Amino acid sequence: MTGFLRVFLLGFLFYFSIVSCSILRETIPSRPLNDGSISVLLKIDKNAREEFEKATSWEVPYTFIEKDHSYAVIHKEKLKVYGFPKEGINIAKGMPFKYYSGNYQDSLSESIFALADIKKGYKDNILNSHYLFWVHRLFPKHSQYKIIGKSARGREIPAILLTDTNIPDEDKISVLFNCAHHSNEVVSVEHCYDVIYELLAHKKKYSDIFAKLKIWVVPIVNPDGSRVFWHENMSMGRKNGYPGWGQITEKDNPGVDINRNYPFFWGKTKSNQTSSVSNSVFFRGPYAGSEPETQAMMNLAEKERFAASISYHAFANCILVPYTIDGTSNPEPDLVWNLGKRIASSVESKNPNHNFSAKKNIYGVDGVDQDYYFFKYGTLAYLIESSHLNPPYSDVPKILESLRPAWTILLEEIADGSKLYFKIKDEHGSPLAANIKLDKVLFYHGEVRTSRKEDGMFFQSFPGIRGIKLKVEKEGYETVNWEGTTWRSWKAIDIILRKKAPAQ
């Protein structure tokens, strides 16, 4: 090989490596689809449609078409080029999100359903119910369609349960993914649908997960907020929109911020991101757990005792690790931080301005779902802030792919990681609700760990921890001391509690 050729090849390889790295680290502009600083929505009268189409050379698509008006999103820099606004073609303000979404109208009118349809565009509460129902119809052996409760205005809160329905639930452990506590963060919903699509599209790859776990996915916790954001006004939707608290005449910001309404440390934070004022966008409600949406999630958690969860939001580009509330102290040893940091290191951020990282919080809040689950059940409960807020849907697949390792790592940890897995029973084999007291585990907020009364199940993931000592206690029964190591095999150990002998 000549010296010139060698230098040429080395130069080419260097160039290729730089280009490859730039492709792998591709970022996406962080501005949202409806960001008025770079784009606007035009409202076009029916009599001006022909003029609009000619002026734009038919290169600007309509995002929504009604009888008397059509709508189109256009970059501000193009306004002068096309000579807009003009008679019949004006800038629309205060419009609902459906006019921006692009393909909402088409998705709503589709009569044939395939799994890939759930990846075609953003979803409101109507499409969400439709898609979850038809996903179950397509995959009856790997899913169940559930209604976990109703909203403040009486709308159903649908969920889908992903599991191998041919295998009994007796030894399965539950995991939760939920989205759209704040329904103006529509990109969060797509992360829930990413879980649904990837698991069902690759059933063989995830067969072990389907066999061991019950994966609950609630894509829109706040269907009322979704309704107003999509169909009334984009300035609403963070709250549930129910005018039942405060002045009944309030119309600007009615309702409660559901993710300030959970009982743990409710109302104890002095912060401008949580409020007792009913018209604040951060209104936490009149009392803890006041909202039916909150109650639905709490009831589901009590029934399932989730081993892990992720709640999706937008768009601070980070994973929040419980406890996130200022003034709280995590149990020692801390089971959630090491896993949280491992998840954070696996995510390659698509946000050009911020790296993805693990944090305690972004600002002071209270009454959030992840802290409640962690306090009440020891759930490895994380909150993931997506990297973007409602970008054009063409950018969403790259965002989902970048954050996908978070939920895959979490599922793998529960299925195959170090764990304690007991079934607490009496001498006759009947399940018992008993207290599990872990030796050398320090709690600071009165946390109590118990087995589930329906089946005596106690499950706790222990990332990176081996040796364990504990006591199993129940009033009227002899205490059982257990000592051993956490294990990775999927087998529950029976612990038998015997009734105390009557006092002589």
- Active-site residue numbers? 385
Contact 228, 234 (CB under 8 A): no
The count of other CB atoms within 10 Å of the CB of residue 282 is 19
**Can you give the C-alpha Rg of the chain in angstroms?**
26
Contact 96, 231 (CB under 8 A): yes
Contact 475, 426 (CB under 8 A): no
Contact 219, 180 (CB under 8 A): yes
Question: How far apart are the C-alpha atoms of 341 and 463, rounded to whole Å?
Answer: 12
Question: How far apart are the C-alpha atoms of 199 and 194, rounded to whole Å?
Answer: 8
Question: How far apart are the C-alpha atoms of 168 and 454, rounded to whole Å?
Answer: 15
Please calculate the CA angle 137-406-456 and round it to the nearest 5 degrees.
70
Comparing CA positions, the residue from 432, 419, 325, 348 lying closest to residue 380 is: 419
Q: What phi and psi values does residue 49 have, to the nearest 5 degrees?
A: -60, -45
Residue with tokens 């999100």: 97
Residues in the chain: 504
Query: Which H or E run contains 126?
Result: helix 125-138
Question: How far apart are the C-alpha atoms of 353 and 21, rounded to whole Å?
Answer: 18
Question: How far apart are the C-alpha atoms of 362 and 356, rounded to whole Å?
Answer: 13
Phi-psi category of residue 30: left, alpha or beta, with phi > 0 → left and psi -120 to 50 → alpha: alpha
Contact 125, 226 (CB under 8 A): yes
Question: How far apart are the C-alpha atoms of 462 and 465, rounded to whole Å?
Answer: 6
Q: Strands 318-320 and 357-359: what pairing?
A: parallel
Question: How far apart are the C-alpha atoms of 390 and 367, rounded to whole Å?
Answer: 25
